[in-house]
Amino acid sequence: MMWLLAQEQAPTPTLGIFSTGSAIDFAFVLLLGVIIWIMVARARTGRKIPEIRKIAGLEAVDEAIGRATEMGRPVVFIPGINSVDNPQTLAAFGMVSHIARQCARYDTRFLALNNDPLPYAVIEEITRQAYLEEGRPDAFNPDDIRFLSAEQFAFTGAVIGIFERERPAANIMVGSFYAESMILAETGSFQGMIQIGGTANTHQLPFFVAACDYALIGEEIYAASAYLSKEPVMYGTVVGQDWMKIIIALLIVTGAVLATVSPDSTFLSDILGGY
Amino acid sequence: MHPHISTDLGLWCQAICTLAIYTYLYKDNPIYRVAENVFLGLATAYWFVFNFFNFIKPAVVEWIGKNGQYHYVLAIILGLLIFMRYVPSLSWIARYPMSFWVGYGTGYTLAFTPAVWLDQITASFVALNSLQNILIFVGILCTLVYFFFTLAKENPVVGGIAEVGKWYIMIALGSAFGNTVLYRWNLFLARANMLLFQWLGFAS
Amino acid sequence: MKIDRRLLYLVAVVLVAVTVFFPLGLPVSVSKLAVQTYDAIQDLPDNSVVFIAPMYDPGTAGELSPMLKAMLYQCMERKYRIILGNTGWTLGAGLAHTIITPIAQEFNYVYGTDYIELGSKPGGAIWLQSAKADLPGAAIVDYNNNSLGQYPLMQAVPRLTQEYVAAALVLDCGTPGAPEWLAQITQGTSIKLIIGEIQMTVPDQMTFVQSGQYAGMIAGSRGCAEYEQLVGRPGAGLKSQDTMSVITLMITLFIVLGNIGYLTRKK
Amino acid sequence: MRKEGPMILTVLSSLVVVFSQYFFLGQKWALMDPLNNWFLISMSIALALGFVNLTSIHVKYLQRKREGWFYSIILLVCMYGYLALGLIQTHNGLQFDWIYQNAYSPLGSTIFSLVAFFITSAAYRAFRVRTKEATILLVCAVFVMLGRAPIGDAMWGGWSAFVNKWVIGTMNVAGMRGINLGIAVGGFATALRIMLGLERAHIGGSGTQ
């Protein structure tokens, strides 16, 4: 049946092999892939990679853990409420290992609260590994990595409860957040926690910016794992991101100049939209 | 404006649930904790039941049973492998389903987002002949520069452009904020309407 | 000056309750965007098929149900054929059913010929993909669990593509939502994507309106109030506007008070 | 088998998605349909992980008679009771649906609506003109609020038109698009880092490598 439908529609391939109108999209993905690959190769052969500028929200991670250590209270991490198929959740994983290690080193309790069973499973494994690498496997308590509920507001209600009863000193929220962001950030501040919030969901960003002590804005969360790892190879991938943005900026400048000089020409948009 | 309290059991249940949650606004208390735990229990069960009848059962009955698409048996086994994490010596097997899910998500990001964003790029090809268009053009470029991670912000030119970008970002976030405040009160309004008009029966 | 937050909550609740019972009745001006949205729907060819997707649940019904109502009025006045259905929002189907039933009666719409309710289908973006290839096959049954093959409207629309559907009206409040419709169904086709958006994500979605990827947007409860006036059916959207005015004044006052306290302390 | 196998599976499954979207043959073979179903089926089964985790934590609380153990009983009873009801009646069952409509749904909507209150207290507590950026955000937020509610127009007739055209339609569009383009690039980069095996926390790598 599927086969018949495909036959019946019979779209013509773009440039012989691509599905209709996909060639440019694919070229973009390929381009970014090649740029990142080149940068990684450069870093691997020990060539110089530019430094990443300071990102206040990421510098504050160690400060927050330090504060929790002084107060003898836990650090909470929340990886958003989407599953492992969302790149924001994957970006959050990149931070967990760093935070868990710091907590293991300073003997600070690390709580990770999850809305989805899959990130929960991943974070448990990362944390276990981090405690092992710090030589403190005995200090790892699997009950501190919790799955609360797959329902958004049941999860939110449960997190409020944990904030009230376990009294954490630091709250780090990075990932894909929705309406719960304001409830979590405000409850956290009632408890006097030091809070870092980061998300690429633009509708929630203003709340993290306004109610948290530090905010990671949009793309900054995707640089987090590289930034915290301080590894040249990972830095290389961030340089790749910058190159891609330069290409986008150049395209926009060219397009705008063309549109100004000859308003009827749709040459560039035709290429970008047509192939 | 005389109340006419409902005698519907369902509405009473709704009203009690609503008020139980609002007690938290005063402070954390046993009523809120009961409501919280009831909700946690119901929610976890609900999503499992929903998924069971929408995905798992159709897969077994329709696809495997009727259509003979036996490869879905493997999908079920793949899902079950995640439980190997409870067997310490074989816990590494649980990485297989995980890597499938992450791989799918990764592929999805690469496959379906570029088309949408390319249109955002071409929509930025604005003729620079009006103040509005010039402001949009400048704003997009400055905001992009703000997100450059490897350009030194100490450089006055780059720093200046990034600073303008930051203003744009704050204006965008401010707009989002202003809109959201009102929207959130709409949510409360919906609850208040339920309590006042449906449960207590005031004439609206 | 540290005020107990519970006092703020009390002030807010009292203010809202008072405006609910004693509305101010301030006029609501109509924006260009609302007119653009209204025209986008109005200007579809006669006898078009529109797909209306209530992608929401009771949490956001306060804002989106009035939009759905006004949209249905406009579409039925234009005599479009309507397919009502969503993916991923189980409760949205029930909410939409209670809204469309009386309006369909008012306009003498025949079920299965003039309109049909598909209910809610699981899968989100994935379901949209399959509906693009085979709509009845992906939907299987309608809202009342009846098989779809018997309905003339379903026979007329074998696929969710531009050959059969003129516009998609999506009431959007999260994932899956309008972005999934854009990526899976309308991007690069002649299907007009018109959305009803919760106020909160309006700035976010505005960039898609500016780029033309959305043909129109009903922007939050304010947009709904404007749109209701254009359709000529004032409803809940218009009614909520007074509360919005009062809340705006209150929040502004709190922000100002908070900052006065902050600035005097700093000095 | 322990490290390489999962890595290969990650790359392979993402390549299938990419291939079936971008390439003519991929669309013709309609590989996405079975793959989507694979994803949904296997993920649905994994939801049971939540049951296992919640049960084990709360049974432990009960055994230790930890503070609040009573609430654990409520949770477990509701969870297993509702599950049993659902499995007997299916998700369309009369009682199952009644509980959904009259307990589950209002509890969720009400927790959601708590945001309104928290925004209000945050307005008083947190939204301070601490920095230049915070000031811009605040002033703009107040401006937009007044533009969206009829009260703004009542104060000055052009308020909502101004906000719609210049703040939301111009400055906001530019800022949001910049943020969103950055996010798109960042998302692709994260996806590519995973495909290149640089980021493999999900398969037992120690975070980033």
CA distance B90 to chain C (A): 32
Asked if the C31-234 domain carries CATH number 3.40.50, the reply is yes
Whole-model pTM?
0.86
- Better-predicted residue by pLDDT, C227 or B186: C227
Check whether residue A159 and residue A245 sit in a common domain.
Answer: no
User: Looking at the structure, do residues A111 and A245 belong to the same domain, yes or no?
Assistant: no
Q: What ipTM was estimated for this complex?
A: 0.85
- Higher pLDDT residue, C159 or A263? C159
Say if residue C176 is preceded by a cis peptide, omega within 30 of 0: yes
User: What integer pLDDT is reported at residue D79 of this predicted model?
Assistant: 95
Residue C62 with chain D: CB contacts under 8 Å = none
Q: What pLDDT score does A2 carry? A: 35
CA distance linking residue C183 with residue C162, whole number of Å? 14
Q: Is C204 on the interface with A (CB under 8 A)?
A: yes
Q: Does B130 touch chain C (CB under 8 A)?
A: no
* Residues A65 and A165 grouped into a single domain: yes
**What is the reported pLDDT for A1?**
31
pLDDT band at C1 (very low <50, low <70, confident <90, very high): low
The confidence band for A190, taking pLDDT boundaries of 50, 70 and 90, is confident
Look at residue A94 in the predicted model and tell me its pLDDT.
Answer: 86
Number of folded domains in chain A? 2
Tell whether A164 lies on the interface with D, counting CB pairs under 8 A. Answer: no
More confident of the two residues C123 and A173 = A173
Q: Which of D159, D148, D158, D162 is nearest to C224 (CA)?
A: D148
Q: Do A1 and C134 touch (CB under 8 A)?
A: yes
> What's the pLDDT tens digit per position in B117-130?
887 888 888 889 89
Q: According to the model, what pLDDT value does residue D25 have?
A: 83
B·D CB contacts under 8 A? 374
Mutate which: B110, B168, B187, B189, vs C, most C CBs within 10 A: B189
Q: Name chain C's partners: 3 or more CB pairs within 8 A.
A: A, B, D
Residue A274's domain comprises 237-259+266-275
Please, which residues have CB within 8 angstroms of residue A41's CB and are 6 or more apart in sequence? none
Q: Are residues A143 and A241 in the same domain?
A: no
SS (H, E, C) C37-97: HHHHHHCCCCCCEEEEEEECCHHHHHHHHHHHHHHHHHHHHCCCEEEEEEECCHHHHHHHH
Q: In this structure, is residue A116 part of a structural domain?
A: yes
Residues A198 and A242 both lie in one domain: no
Question: What pLDDT score does A7 carry?
Answer: 38
Same domain, A166 and A225: yes
What is the model's pLDDT at position A195?
Answer: 95
CB D202 within 8 A of CB D9: no
User: In sequence order, which residues have a C-beta less than 8 Å from that of residue B191 and are 6 or more positions away?
Assistant: B18, D109, D110, D113
pLDDT for the residue D45: 87
pLDDT band at B81 (very low <50, low <70, confident <90, very high): very high
Q: What is the pLDDT of residue B23?
A: 94
pLDDT in tens, B93-117: 988 998 999 999 899 889 887 877 8
- Computed over its alpha carbons, how large is the radius of gyration of chain A? 22
Torsion sign over Cα C40, C42, C47, C53: positive
The pLDDT score that the predictor gives to residue D58 is: 92
Residue located via tokens 């025949």: C110
pLDDT the model gives residue D207: 41
> Is C183's CB within 8 Å of B116's CB?
yes
The C-alpha atoms of residue A127 and residue A138 are separated, in whole angstroms, by 12
Measured between CA atoms, the residue of chain A closest to residue B128 is A260
C44-82 tens-digit pLDDT: 999 999 999 999 987 788 889 999 999 999 999 999 999
Residue numbers of chain D with a pLDDT score lower than 50: 207-209
Mean pLDDT of A108-114: 96
| Position A48 in a domain | no
pLDDT (tens digit, 9 = 90+) per residue, B167-182?
A: 999 999 999 888 888 7
Q: Is A174 on the interface with D (CB under 8 A)?
A: no
Same domain, A161 and A243: no
pLDDT tens-digit series, residues B44-78: 898 888 888 877 887 888 788 888 888 889 999 99
Instruction: Give mean pLDDT, residues C151-175.
Output: 93
Q: Residue holding tokens 């490290």?
A: D3
Residues D181 and B168: beta-carbon distance below 8 Å: no
Supply the CATH number for residue A153's domain.
3.40.50.2300
H or E element: which one contains D58?
A: helix D48-64
Residue A186 shares a structural domain with residue A245: no
pLDDT for the residue D46: 85
Q: Show which of residues 207-266 on chain A sit within 8 Å of chain D, judged by CB atoms.
A: 207, 209-211, 217-219, 221-223, 225-226, 229, 231, 233-234, 237-238, 240-241, 244-245, 248
Domain boundary assignment for chain D: 1-46, 128-200
Assign A4 a pLDDT band (cuts: 50, 70, 90): very low
Distance between CA atoms of residues A167 and A74, nearest Å:
7
Higher pLDDT: A119 or B59? It is: A119
Return the pLDDT at D10: 92
